[in-house]
Amino acid sequence: MAPSALDATRRSLPPWARQAVRSVVDPVLKPWGSISSVRGSRSVGLTFDDGPDPSTTPRVLDALAARGVCATFFVVVTRAEAAPEIVRSVLAAGHEIGLHGLDHRRPTTLAKGAFDGWLREGRRRLEQVCGRAVRWYRPPYGAQSFRTYRAARRSGLDVVVWSADVEDWLDHAPSQIAHLARERVAPGGILLMHDAYQGEPGDDRPPSFDRCEVVDGVLEKLEEENLRPVPIGRLVEASPVHRTAWFRA
């Protein structure tokens, strides 16, 4: 079945059915699984995609600092090169940097040779900006095929996806986003958030909410549930990792 057909089938299933399918498929495909959570932990992997953005990322950093929280930022390399001082601020505050892509194209639309070069060049240039090695990779839009997964692993990158999405790429009210966090995030899960906005081609309309307010509201809900937000490196060091078969267009 083509990746697009697989993706359509996945989306058509209710949550309980998706979980049932994963409980069967994930153990079989564990050698090809992407990191999606850990077991036996009250921590949550807090991750941000699509930055850095000079107008929003510093405010997100302020919101995290106010609560003493660190996270993993999956950055777009062209944006990192345009704002290297923000990348340095992220690292100086104790956060992690991961690769989100040389740019924000869907990896599954790139031909084999083109993807391999896109990934290698993205990692090389991001490590130049950071001044340190990059370990984590998250594909834009979560778009991944078996081929792109294997290429990432061969290059020494570990693929990190997510188990909870608070939909902060849509123009929800901050209170609604915080409610989604409380509803969807489970102990040991990985939470997807955004410190910037990168839409589909032709869509440059970011949500109108204040990202600082959103982050503060989500962190408050996690605290109420006694869940500790941590970077991915800290999450996987302390608990057994769960890998899921993550292939979508």
pLDDT digits (tens, 9 = 90+) for 216-239: 999 999 999 999 999 999 999 999
- On the question of pLDDT at 13 being above 70, the answer is no
pLDDT of residue 204: 73
Residue 18 pLDDT more than 70? no
CA distance 193 to 72: 10
Q: Residue 183: CA atoms inside 13 Å, Cβ hemisphere, count?
A: 9
CA 174/CA 72 separation, integer angstroms:
21
Q: Residue 219: its pLDDT value, please?
A: 98
201 conformational bin, left if phi > 0, alpha if psi -120 to 50, beta if neither: beta
Query: Model confidence over 76-90: pLDDT tens digits?
Result: 999 999 999 999 999
Q: How far is CA 216 from the centre of its chain?
A: 18
Q: Express as a percent the part of the chain with pLDDT over 90.
A: 82
User: What are residue 47's phi and psi, to 5 degrees?
Assistant: -130, 150
Beta strands in the chain (DSSP E): 34-38, 43-49, 72-76, 96-101, 136-137, 158-159, 164-165, 190-194, 228-230, 241-244
How would residue 9 be classed by pLDDT, with cut points 50, 70 and 90?
low
| Cα atoms in the Cβ-side hemisphere of radius 13 Å centred on 145 | 17
Cβ–Cβ < 8 Å for 101, 75: no
Domains with residue ranges and CATH for the chain: 3-244 (3.20.20.370)
Q: How far apart are CA 50 and CA 136, in angstroms?
A: 14
pLDDT at 142: 97
Residue 70's pLDDT is 98
Least confident of 3-17, 111-125, 151-165, 183-197: 3-17
User: Residues with catalytic annotation?
Assistant: 49, 194
> Which residue from 138, 133, 129 is spatially nearest to 90, judged by alpha carbons?
129
- Confidence bin at 32 (pLDDT 50/70/90): confident
pLDDT, position 117: 96
Q: Quick one: tokens of 78?
A: 């062209």
**Please, what is the average pLDDT of the chain?**
90
pLDDT confidence of residue 2: 39
Measured between alpha carbons, how far is 151 from 148 in angstroms, rounded to an integer? 5
pLDDT in tens, 193-217: 999 999 887 777 889 999 999 999 9
